[in-house]
Chain A
Amino acid sequence: MAHFTKATSIKDWLNQRLAIDKVEKVMASEYWIPKNINFLWAMGMVLVITFALLLVSGIFLLMYYQPNVDTAFDSVNYTIMREVDFGWLWRHVHGVAASVVFLIIYIHMFTAIYYGSYKKGREMIWISGMLLFIAFSAEAFSGYMLPWGQMSYWAGMVITNLFSGGSLHADGLVEWIRGDYVPAQAFLNRFFMLHVLLVPLAIIGLIGLHFGALRIPHVNNQDGEEIDFEAESKKYLAGDKTGSKVIRFANDFMSKDMMVVGFYLIFFFYLVFYHYGFAMDPVNFDPADGLKTPEHIYPEWYFLWSYEILRPFSTDIGLMAFAFAQVIFLALPFLDRSDNAIPASRRGLFKFWFWAMLIDMITLTAMGKVPPIEPFGTIGLIAALTFIGLWIALPIITYYEKKA
């Protein structure tokens, strides 16, 4: 047994048992962050805060929500919205955060793509991040079922039908996922379980992995410079704070981070109080009806790009294109054949690849929103083909990229 002495203070008492000083150093004051970064590096913290908002608002919604096909709709739209004091606040925070979290995830992702933060030892950061994206997508979809409105029901119908695999006709698998021939009580109950327990557990675990993956390669910087964190931190601790290329994570870097979070929260609560409508589809204010499809079914904005890759093709090709779109980002560190971990602007053809991909995904998003009529159908088809073409071109153009 370790030797314990009479504690001189509460801190000392805790230190002897939990080594809190050491933990604080490892986690915060001697976790080193490069100085040469910009506000885009704050998106991780913005996401943490958004996840916390989702968790807290979700806990309050959970106390009144009823996962039953007969009462779910009213428990949301009557009990929570009208009876519970500030119930509307939790619902609007939850709905707006569920939408905005994807905006931040996309910014976070494209920042990583632009600065090459997915290679040279940072592959696991990228992969764990993409797994988080998938987990968040599952969380968003399962949560979308819960108000049991028309969009909930029909999104549930359409998305679970994807698992029939087109011509494979795996109807048994679809019925197994639903626990019924159509989305009904068993379906609502199990998606409720997924939304409040299993998927959040996976998300929390993946966040741990994502942070852990950062420890060894450290955070990237604006020039993709390879920093000797050992030497630079020694310089900092010796007093040469100006000469050192790194700063402490807390409180130094955190103060910048939280500044960005502050601006973000003003924007976020502006949306919650004055502009929450974008996250609340009007069609979902009709209760679920299995015998009436809404005029025009579309997913939330953050799924539109992959939905648009599905839409212009016949069922089987569409499903293959859709499956391709879902997994291809995971392979980015391996499809990019260049060793250059520098900003896209200094990377030859990759610069054009980056902007073409961004513009293509915005185009797909826009085309996914409009009804399937011309010329939108053709534009969507071209954008979907461009998406696939860009991924095929990526290994080729990066293979021939000059060493920077």
Chain B
Amino acid sequence: MKNNSRRGFMGKAFGAVGAVGAVASLYAMKKSWDPLPSVKAAGFTTLDMSNYNENEVITEKWRGKPIFVLKYTSEMAASLDEKQKERTIVINGSHYMVNLGLCTHLGCIPSYDKNDKSFLCACHGGMYDFTGAVTKAPPPRGLDIPPFKIQGNTLVLGEEGPEYKSMKENGITL
């Protein structure tokens, strides 16, 4: 009886030590899989917005992801409705679409049709208009807008400026 209670205590003591160790090692394992600081630090891209041609999608790179930059023609800018305007970035009087070039469905890269002025994702058939708003399912929402800050004629990706914050508050992007 005495022996049994002693063994029982030893078992419980080991269980407690083991449980603490297991939780601690799970935490260490979780943290070891996190993105490295060097990966997180390389997170800013500066774009000179005067370099873009109208109605031509240029793919820039930010955090390893493609960023679509599209300068609107004057007809495109004139045709914008309220919703489309909210998605548009205006710099020095020119209108731009600056979106993450990854389909919000499962992350394929949509392609731009110059004549139709729309994006088509070949993976699952999703479509977006030239402002990145979704026009055909399965994508659940328009193309995401990366955090940006307008500095004169340049755009810094990865920093949150007032225009980006208001877009986020209005639910235009995630």
Interface assignment of B138: CB less than 8 Å from any CB of chain A: yes
Q: Which of A51-59, A158-166, A323-331 contacts B (4 or more CB under 8 A)?
A: A158-166
Are A181 and B66 in touch, CB under 8 angstroms?
A: no
Please pick, from A157, A161, A175, A318, the residue contacting B35 in the complex, using a CB distance under 8 A.
A175
Complex-state Cα separation, A313 to B126, whole angstroms: 12
Are B65 and A180 in touch, CB under 8 angstroms?
A: no
Interface assignment of A291: CB less than 8 Å from any CB of chain B: yes
Are B108 and A297 in touch, CB under 8 angstroms?
A: yes
Given contacts A290-B66, A292-B109, A372-B124, contact A180 B39 (CB under 8 A): yes
Complex-state Cα separation, A127 to B65, whole angstroms: 40
Interface assignment of B8: CB less than 8 Å from any CB of chain A: no
Q: Which of B18-26, B56-64, B83-91 contacts A (4 or more CB under 8 A)?
A: B56-64
Interface assignment of B15: CB less than 8 Å from any CB of chain A: no
Given contacts A186-B35, A372-B125, contact A181 B106 (CB under 8 A): no
Interface residues of A in 293-313 (CB under 8 A from B): 293-297, 311, 313
Interface assignment of A184: CB less than 8 Å from any CB of chain B: yes
Given contacts A190-B33, A290-B64, A291-B59, contact A179 B122 (CB under 8 A): no
Number of cross-chain contacts by CB at 8 Å:
84
CB distance from A51 to the nearest CB of B (A): 28
Interface residues of B in 97-118 (CB under 8 A from A): 101, 105-111
Please pick, from B30, B61, B108, the residue contacting A154 in the complex, using a CB distance under 8 A.
B108
Are B174 and A179 in touch, CB under 8 angstroms?
A: no
Please pick, from A161, A190, A373, the residue contacting B106 in the complex, using a CB distance under 8 A.
A161
B26-63 interface mask toward A, CB cutoff 8 Å, 1 = contact, 0 = none? 00001001111001000000000000000000010101
**CB closest residue in chain A, given B103:** A293
Interface residues of A in 172-210 (CB under 8 A from B): 175-182, 184, 186, 190
Given contacts A181-B65, A291-B66, contact A186 B39 (CB under 8 A): yes
Given contacts A169-B174, A314-B137, A315-B140, contact A180 B109 (CB under 8 A): no
Are A293 and B140 in touch, CB under 8 angstroms?
A: no
Interface assignment of B139: CB less than 8 Å from any CB of chain A: yes
Contacts of A157 in B (CB 8 A): 106-108
Complex-state Cα separation, A154 to B30, whole angstroms: 25
Please pick, from B33, B63, B106, B140, the residue contacting A162 in the complex, using a CB distance under 8 A.
B106
CB distance from B1 to the nearest CB of A (A): 31
Complex-state Cα separation, A318 to B61, whole angstroms: 30
Complex-state Cα separation, A166 to B111, whole angstroms: 22
B130-150 interface mask toward A, CB cutoff 8 Å, 1 = contact, 0 = none? 000000011110000000000
Contacts of A296 in B (CB 8 A): 122-123
Interface assignment of A316: CB less than 8 Å from any CB of chain B: yes
CB distance from B127 to the nearest CB of A (A): 12
Contacts of A294 in B (CB 8 A): 122
Complex-state Cα separation, A371 to B123, whole angstroms: 8
Are A291 and B122 in touch, CB under 8 angstroms?
A: no
Told that A181-B65, A184-B39 touch, could you supply 5 new A-B pairs with CB distance under 8 A?
A157-B108, A158-B107, A290-B65, A293-B109, A315-B138
